[in-house]
Each structure stands twice: as structure tokens, then as C-alpha cells.
Structure 1
Amino acid sequence: MKSIATLTMNPTIDVSYDIARMQHTHKMRTDNEWYAPGGGGINVARVFVRLGGNARCYYLSGGATGPALDGLIDLHQLVRTRIPIAGPTRVASAVFEQESGKEYRFVPRGPKIAEHEWRDCLERLGAADCGTMVMSGSLPPGVPSDFYARVTELLRPRGIELVLDSSGTGLAHGIDAGSLLLVKPSQGELQAYVGRTLDTPDAIGKEAMRIVETGKARLVAVTMGHKGAVLARAEGPVFLPALKIEAASAVGAGDSFVAGMVYALHAGKSETEAFRFGVASGTAAVLRAGAGLAHPVDIEDLLQQLQPL
């Protein structure tokens, strides 16, 4: 299996807590304090390696919180290439309220990136040695909205396959650069890209197929939360309904989906088999509160419950 690399332009230190009940003004004591390295590409790498693959993380890191992120990545035994920045790495929090069973998430925008910093990142990526580059997560302030398109244009001539999971203009420019192996928008992100509401799997499938038919991506996997997911490919769209589970968290579900699907493709699985593996991986990520992401034992169990395609 060829190794992959992941790109995280706006990483996080993910902190999770449990509390009995949310209250304004009052000091709330927490339990089960837990820290993890986070952000799209880092999350993808964590799950991909957990499944048995090899991955290198490219990410920006800086300020007083940067060394803490670097240390957390090392604790997870991930191979890393750090691009130094002046601004502080952001800290995101997930708070699970035990009384209601609801999770509250607080996610900063991230530090402002100087031009020389994002250009340094492009230069480092130009030397990447991998079969696939997974570009995942938001673009922080200061990074041009066509950054993922620039990465695609840089790496595509070298035969490196590109996977994209982002939002807004970063996603739009990345799709329009074309020739992606896989793009994974959510239902809301695809609606923003096409500029209209898509409220059925058929409508989603038709718009996703336009991306495939115009050569912008070989595969388009659109996640729809509790409603399931749609895969567009050359042979046409397929829909997979979601499993009925009790979701404890939403942290890293999309990243786990990408990691699982890319892992299965690298393992030689068919496109539909890889799609099922991605759905099982994304579902596994929400079974537990916090930022633990998907675990292989849960993925295999859920895979047996998904309908065949």
C-alpha cells in the first residue's frame, strides 16, 4: 500500500470535557479532560494509521500553543512535517453535557497566516513523496482561497492523486482545479457550491455527477448526516442510508469518513466497497463523545450492518 500525506492548514489542539450541566456565569467543574491533535488532515492521518496505513502530516504550527500540538502529534506516533508560523495554533473545545446528552463545540477561526508562511508551505509540499495527498480542513485567515487549487496544480504533474475535503471558496476553487481522485463535501457544502438547495439523494446525486462528468473529480462522496451518503462515480450515483445509532459526538466524523474511504481504495477495494467503508468509518467516529475518532473494531462491526451496494 502506497503511503499518503495529509495537509492541515488550520490545525487544532482538541480539548474535550464532560460536565453535569451547562450554566452561564457559574464556574463549571469538568471530568474526563482529554487532549488530542486535530484539524482535518491530522484527523485523517490518525485514523488512516490506526487502520494500518502510513501517513505523513504537513501542518502549520506556531505561537505558545504550537509546541503543544507538535507534542500531541508525536504522542500519536505520526510522521510530521511542521511549517512554522508566528501566530498561535488554535485550541478547540468540545463539552459534553451529561444531563441532556448534548455536545457543545467551540472552534476559533485560527491565526492569520502571512504570505511568506503559506508560500513556505507550498515549497515544502513541492517535495512531498507520497501516492496521495489529502487536503482537509478550513483555510485560516491570510491564506488565499485558491490555495488548494495551487496545491493540486503543483502536485498533479508528479502523478500524486489529490483528495479534497473543505468548505466555502477553498472547496470551490479546489474542485474547479479538476482531476481530483475524491472530493467529499457535506450536503450543505455541496449546496453552497452549486448555489441552490438539494433536499433529496436524487438531487444531490445529479449535482455530484456533474462534477464527475466534467472531469473535476473521479469520485464525489456527499455526506448527509443521519440521512446517509451519496457516491457519484462514472457508472452513476449510489445512495447508502445511515445506520440508526445513538450519536455521542460530531467531532471528526467527516475526517474519519475520508480516512476510511482512502484507506479502502489504497487497499484495492472497489469504489462502492470503499464508499461503504467510509460510511462505516464516519459512523464509528460519532459513537463516543470527544475527539477519539473512528476505531477499527467499531468500523468492522458497523460495516456488517450496512446494506450491500
Structure 2
Amino acid sequence: MKAFDIVTITVNPALDKSTHFKGLVAEQKIRCATPRYDAGGGGINVSKAIARLGGESLAVFTSGGATGKILEDLVEKESIAYHAIEVETWTRESFVAVDDNTNSQYRFGFTGGEISLEEESKLLETISTIQSRFIVASGSLNEGLSTDFYQKIAKIAKKSNSKLIVDTSGEALKKVLETGVYLIKPNVGELAKLIGVEKLEMEEVNAAAKQIIASGGAEIVVVSLGPQGAVLVTKNSYDYVPAPNVAKKSTVGAGDSMVGGMTWALAQNKPLKEVIRWGVACGSAATMNEGTQLFKLEDAKRLFEWLKDK
């Protein structure tokens, strides 16, 4: 298998559908526009973001049933190298619909099918055979997978000297910090839970992130502040980047675009000051597009130029 600087892992991918309609009325048939289909799920979206920036990655993901085959076709059309691991249950779907009368967006997500112990072993075995500088584990976990699944990947990454970037939440994120990773991207609420407090004020974010770093949980903590931007914290640094003011159409995939932008910049050996700005630029650019389309390269580049001196 060809060596890749970046490998993304998506254990719970989704076939994303998006459409438009006019007027939501209970118990009446809602006429929808022709749907758009996109390959979705945390790691796949990260690989798509990296490809938009001109980078390469290997997307490793599960694939099951007819929806899984469509997902594979969509990834291939994006010219992304991939390794699909066949599972018995069908790949889940997600659905985004925009009411043109109100410009309200409705997002419907389904849980992923159960992953068997045999399929989990196949996943971990595949990951252990791949050599890469960066591994990105992103997204939710399927039923049947224990909350320490990403922790198992962290142990594999340590053995192979790969830098693991994790974008997940809840118990799965807490567990992986016990082993330690290279980078995590919680939002403020998730960061508060990680250090055992109810909430955090803006001025408390730096100390909270450094608490995780001091305990060996992560080398870099990027905290997403939503419309306020993001901060990147290391043992010896703190860098706040404001979010540019853009016309938002959809927040779907914005977080994944941010991770993709940062991972691409890290693989390009860019300084951390630029890494966080590429992340914010890509995440903000993704909100400018409808449905599940992620970002346009020209938008990301323009926003990065604006952020360079911020």
C-alpha cells in the first residue's frame, strides 16, 4: 500500500442527503427538490477538506450494504484514496433539509449499525498495518463499539510514532486522553466536561486546556469557540483567532473542515500560528455553502489571507 502522510479513520460514516422544500406542514406530503448526495462522516469530511487544499490522505472507513457502495463511489469521485472495510450492517444516512420560506435548516441524523467484535478487530488490524505521520480519528462511534475504541487507536499510534488527532466527544474523548494524543479539538462545553466543571468563561479556557496538556492528555488543544473563533493552546503558547464575519448558509461539516485545514497545514510543516488560521479559515468557509458541501478553496484562501494578521 502507498505510504500517506495523513490517514483518516471513520468508523461511523454516513451517506449525506440534502434538499430544499417550501413550508413544513404536519401530516402533509412535503415536496422536496432533487436531493444532493455527499460522502459524509468525520474522517471522510477531513479527507475531503485536505483534498480541496491540494493535499493527499488515505480515508479508512467502514462500508455496508447498498448505501455503503454509494458512499464508496462518492469518495472515489472526490479522487480520494480509500480503504473500505466491509461490515454487515448498512452504512447509515443523514438528511438535511432547508425550508426556503423561512431559510430554516432541519438536520436529521441516524445512529450507525452495530459493529461486531470481528469487524472491530479487522478495523484495528488495518490501522496497525498503515504507516503515516498523522492519523485523524474523527466522528461518533457505532453501537457495539466500546468507548475505549479511540484509545486503542491511540496505543497503535504510539507504537508506530504517528501523531494522533482526535475529534470526538463524551466518554470516547475522555478515554483517549488517558493514553494521550497529539491534538484534540473540543468546544468550550466539551472542554469544561473534560476537566470536571459545569461551564467555562472565555478567560478560563487557556488554563483549562493547559490542565489537559500538563496531565499528558494532549500536546495541542484547539478549542472551538463557535462564532467567536478558536484558540490553539500548547504547553508554552496561547493563540486566539477570531472567526471572520461571513454569510452563513449551513454549519454542516464546519468542524470537520477545520480539522482538515489544520491537519493539512501540519503535514505541510507550517507553524502553529498558520495551522490554527487555516483551520478557522476552512471551518468558516464551509459555513458559506449549503447542505453538506464543505468549503470552496477560493473562499478558504481569501479568509486565510484576512486572518494572517489577526
TMscore range, shorter length: over 0.9
| Separation in structure 2 between the aligned mates of residue 163 and residue 71 of structure 1, nearest angstrom | 26
Alignment check: 8 A CA contact 2:131 2:160 kept: no
1:177 aligned partner: 179
Q: How many residues align?
A: 308
2:114 aligned partner: 112
Q: Which runs of 5+ in 1 are unaligned?
A: none
Alignment check: 8 A CA contact 1:11 1:40 kept: yes
**Post-superposition offset of 1:32:** 4.9
1:67 aligned partner: 69
Farther off after superposition, 147-156 or 299-308: 299-308
Q: Taking structure 1 as reference, are residues 75 and 307 closer, same or farther at Cα in structure 2, changes over 3 Å only?
A: closer
Amino acid at match of 1:80: Y
Q: Summarize deviations over 1:172-224 as a string: whole Å, max 9, x none.
A: 1112211x221111222222322323342221221111122223212110112
Farther off after superposition, 103-112 or 23-32: 23-32
| Separation in structure 2 between the aligned mates of residue 258 and residue 161 of structure 1, nearest angstrom | 14
1:245 aligned partner: 246
Q: Summarize deviations over 1:139-183 as a string: whole Å, max 9, x none.
A: 1110110111101101212111110000111111112211x2211
Amino acid at match of 1:31: A
Alignment check: 8 A CA contact 1:8 1:59 kept: yes
TM-score, normalised to structure 1's length?
A: 0.95
| Separation in structure 2 between the aligned mates of residue 134 and residue 307 of structure 1, nearest angstrom | 25
1:54 aligned partner: 56
Amino acid at match of 2:242: P
| Separation in structure 1 between the aligned mates of residue 198 and residue 120 of structure 2, nearest angstrom | 34
Q: Summarize deviations over 1:47-89 as a string: whole Å, max 9, x none.
A: 1011111111111111232211111111112111111111110
**Structural RMSD (CA):** 1.6
TM-score, normalised to structure 2's length?
A: 0.95
Q: Which runs of 5+ in 2 are unaligned?
A: none
1:128 aligned partner: 130
| Separation in structure 1 between the aligned mates of residue 195 and residue 171 of structure 2, nearest angstrom | 12
| Separation in structure 2 between the aligned mates of residue 220 and residue 268 of structure 1, nearest angstrom | 18
2:112 corresponds to 1:79: no
2:299 corresponds to 1:298: yes
Alignment check: 8 A CA contact 1:2 1:266 kept: no
| Separation in structure 1 between the aligned mates of residue 258 and residue 119 of structure 2, nearest angstrom | 30
Q: Summarize deviations over 1:14-39 as a string: whole Å, max 9, x none.
A: 10001122222211112252101000
Segments of 4+ in structure 1 off by > 4 A? Answer: none
Corresponding residue SS for 2:8: strand
2:293 corresponds to 1:287: no
**Post-superposition offset of 1:11:** 0.2
2:151 aligned partner: 149
